[in-house]
Amino acid sequence: MRKPLYGRWLVTLSAALALLFPLFAAPASAAGTPPRPAPAKNGTPPPSPLTATAKDGTPHVRRSPLDVKDRAPLPSSRDALRRDYDRPADTAEHPRPSAKARTPAAACNVADFTGRSGSALVQQITSSTTDCVNTLFDLTGGDAYGAFREAKMTTVAYALRDNGLRYAGDNSAGTAQLVLYLRAGYYVQWYHPADVGTYGSSLATAIQAALDAFFANPASSTVSDANGEILAEAVTLIDSSQQNARYLYVVKRLLNGYNSSYDASWWMLNAVNNVYTVLFRGHQLPAFVTAVQADRGVLDTLDAFAAGHLALLGTDRAYLASNAGRELGRFLQHAALQPTVRPLARHLLGLSSIKGVTAPLWVGVAEMTDSYDKANCSYYGTCDLRNRLAVEVLPITYTCGSSIRIRAQDMTSAQLSASCSSLTNQDAYFHNLVKDGGRPVAGDGNTTIEVVVFDSSGDYQTYAGVMFGIDTDNGGMYLEGDPTAAGNQPRFIAYEAEWLRPDFQIWNLNHEYTHYLDGRFDMYGDFDAGIGTPTVWWIEGFAEYVSYSYRKVTYDAAITEAAKRTYALSTLWDTTYSHDTTRIYRWGYLAVRYMFERHPDDVTTVLGSYRTGAWNTARSFLTGTIGARYDSDWYSWLASCAAGSCSGGGGGGGGTECTGTDTRRLDRNCRRGGLSATTGNYAYLYIYLPAGTSRLTITAAGGTGNADLYYNSASWATTSAYSQRSTASGNTESLVIDNPPAGYNYISLYAAQAFTGAAVTTEY
């Protein structure tokens, strides 16, 4: 995933169910308070300032893939903040309920809601499924007005009031549907006020009556999944309706009421955590701030919760304690509250430390002091916070050639060396695929990338947001910055996949590195320019394609999608980051792989436009010249892919078979396949290069066994006579030879273990 740092960003990630996730939200800037975020959708708060595509210059975000199979099995507490990104796998302890953004029920009809009013509308809502009501978050235009104008919302709010009076702690009376309908209305009205119309005092009075009745009913405090699911949505409705000030007592009740009995219910944990959304976004409402100034009990409640539940830190419920500290510290932004909050914040900092199990709490509070009370940093012990974290948390610096620098929390010398080799060997593989001649796009000065590696996904979530100003509900992030700016430092931020130990793997290492190479050699300008037209099919699909094909790993999730035939190829040209992860990553991978395998010349044409910033030209070529012309063949290819042709990762740079009669001779942009040798022996090859050749790229791939790649400019290449070599495990090897001599150059595959079916491709 890529993200512009004052230019171009990138990260990887279906519908988020609820904010059971640490609130790594951006603090308000010193220049003023940011506008209030939109109401949450589908149980999820809207993107925080770190993840929004904001009108005020907030950067776009692209994330690294979060497939269950291919990502960390993070606890269910770490749901994504955005509905269009995949979440990690559930833990066995807290199996996740089915998501709110489910497949729409077949019987759901918008006219059933827009065409009814009064009791008929209420009956329709309560008799519908939550799946059906959930689809109404997407209404616009006349449908939005027909479903959610103030008179109808007021009717539904009073229905929730009557329902709340007899609420039994479960959904037997359709309470969940009423709450969800109201949330959908606030959401749609926020984004489409011209469609829906204004909301005024009539609705405000009705929604207060509804929430008063629900929360006054003792059944709303029942600790159970049945109540927890509705309670979690009702807490979010507090914020959606901007009633944050009125229901501070609900915030205190849930925090004070939490105990170990909640831990058996994911929904009850979700309900507790949703109070932090009420607090986080309440700061944008003057009435909320006034209410806290009048009754500061919520501040003591947050302090007591964090201090009293330190044992949660280090568990899959750590977010409950760390969020309490973070939200307490956020009140430092109000001068009138600082005398109360300062000693409480220092108290929590004293109970925790910058490293270790309690670090999430320490870092969360420290970030708030740094954002809102930096002048008093010595009082808290948080001065020079980012640099201090860098020294404490990332002590290792490793130079990996002239273009890569690794900063790590905890890596051995062997791990650093292996990671370095994986990245540098990928260069040749990448250049052979895109045939860029090794030339960056005009104006790109990103010559050296910094690779930041945290020791685990937990460390990444604890530290990366504060240190680099990113959101961390993802598998890593590439920050391109402005490639034309002097001194710009591109970097990608990643973490070790601790769930794979004792094996060592940096999660999404090759996906993120592809973003760096693609941005430097294929995509002109910065990230915002690149996505001015839909290019996501390429950006994320290509990063997935290189990651899987370079490593020769079968992309099982994509192959499963291929069998479903969900999208025409012509539809995928329109993919944007507003689409779900399955379409962005898995179908992006399939589209890119198809184009490389069936239409490589068209790939060359598209990249020719991307490299010069001719985005509309590329768009016209894809949607007009190609259009739906390949769709029939695409579906045939999908069937073949699902039947097994996509196993093994694919890739290898393509290229046609060399045509010379000497089967040892390679040539420009061609390959020799079917190569084999027994252990200790060689498959010898050579190539004749014209004078002035600036770069020779050699790639080996495919087959079985273990073949190492050797190059010599003067004589047959062997293990004792070579000028360059690539000796990774398996047969995937690559070399880049700068300024090779004119005339004969020699290449060989050495059988470290007997191999068959390998291929060598050359490009210059």
* Active-site amino acid positions: 512
606-610 contacts, C-beta under 8 A, 24 or more apart: 606/538, 607/434, 607/436, 607/522, 610/522, 610/523, 610/524, 610/530, 610/535, 610/538
Of 498, 405, 543, whose CA–CA distance to 63 is shortest? 543
Q: Nearest Cα to 104, choosing from 73, 85, 129, 132?
A: 132
How would you classify the pairing of strands 491-495 and 449-454? parallel
Sorted by sequence, the CB contacts under 8 Å of residue 743 that are 6+ apart come out as 688, 689
Type of residue found at 400:
C
* Peptide bond just before 502 cis, omega within 30 deg: yes
Burial of 200 (0-12, 13-18, 19+ CB in 10 A): exposed
Residues 3-31 as b/e (b if ≥16 CB within 10 A, e otherwise) read: bbbebbbbbbbbbbbbbbbbbbbbbbeee
Q: Name which of 499, 493, 496 is nearest 478 in CA terms.
A: 493
Quote the radius of gyration of the chain (alpha carbons, Å). 28
Strand 8-10 relative to strand 491-495, pairing = unpaired
| CA-wise closest residue to 604 among 440, 719, 437, 471 | 437
Longest dimension (CA), the chain: 89
**Residue showing tokens 């220049």:** 31
Q: Where are the alpha helices (DSSP H) in 452-599?
A: 457-468, 509-521, 527-530, 536-551, 556-564, 569-572, 581, 588-598
- Could you tell me which of 179, 4, 84 has the C-alpha nearest to residue 576? 84
